[in-house]
């Protein structure tokens, strides 16, 4: 989500490619134009995510495993549509969107999602409050 592209298994959409072949597609090509994700893809970058990045600047293990903006957008979207379990979020990426990973082929599995939520619980709570206010004011 960070750059607006996902790696999606073309065969999961009935595209005439061999099984397992992957292509880069944007959410616009697989979701209706009024889907909440497009509002969030525009809104999340406008938020101050520096507290999320600050966590990784003091972590001795290096960079975040996935783009922070992508993970925040994924969690906010999932919470907004009523999916709260890390396992269900990971499963819905594959089942509903056919997402198999980012541009490098890496997939945010349930453990990655769970760890991100655990590490950023307070930050996510504050962020969700802001996003909820925006959604209400924009009629979502």
pLDDT in tens, 1-36: 444 444 333 333 333 334 454 555 566 777 788 888
Whole-structure pTM value: 0.71
Find the mean pLDDT for residues 95-107: 57
**Res 23: pLDDT:** 54
Q: Which of 2-16, 46-60, 65-79, 99-113 has the lowest mean pLDDT?
A: 2-16
Would you give the distance in Å from CA 83 to the centre of its chain? 13
Is residue 40 pLDDT above 90, yes or no? Answer: no
Q: Cβ contacts of residue 27 below 8 Å, gap of 6+?
A: 1, 4, 6, 35, 37, 38, 41
Provide the pLDDT for residue 80. Answer: 87
What's the average model confidence in pLDDT over 112-119? 92
List pLDDT tens digits, range 77-88: 888 888 999 999
Where do runs of H (alpha helix) occur along the chain? 36-43, 50-58, 68-80, 86-97, 110-119, 121-137
């Amino acid at each position: 989500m960070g750059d607006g592209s996902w790696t999606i298994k073309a065969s999961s959409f009935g595209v005439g490619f061999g099984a397992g072949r992957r292509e880069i597609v944007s959410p616009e090509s697989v979701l209706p134009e009024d889907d909440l994700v497009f509002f969030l893809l525009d809104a999340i970058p406008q938020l101050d995510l520096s507290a999320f990045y600050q966590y990784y600047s003091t972590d001795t293990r290096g960079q975040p495993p996935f783009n922070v903006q992508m993970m925040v957008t994924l969690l906010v979207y999932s919470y907004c549509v009523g999916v709260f379990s890390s396992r269900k979020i990971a499963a819905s990426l594959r089942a509903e969107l056919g997402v198999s990973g980012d541009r490098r082929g890496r997939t945010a599995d349930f453990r990655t999602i769970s760890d991100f939520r655990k590490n950023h619980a307070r930050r996510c709570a504050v962020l969700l409050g802001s996003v909820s206010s925006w959604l209400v004011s924009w009629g979502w």
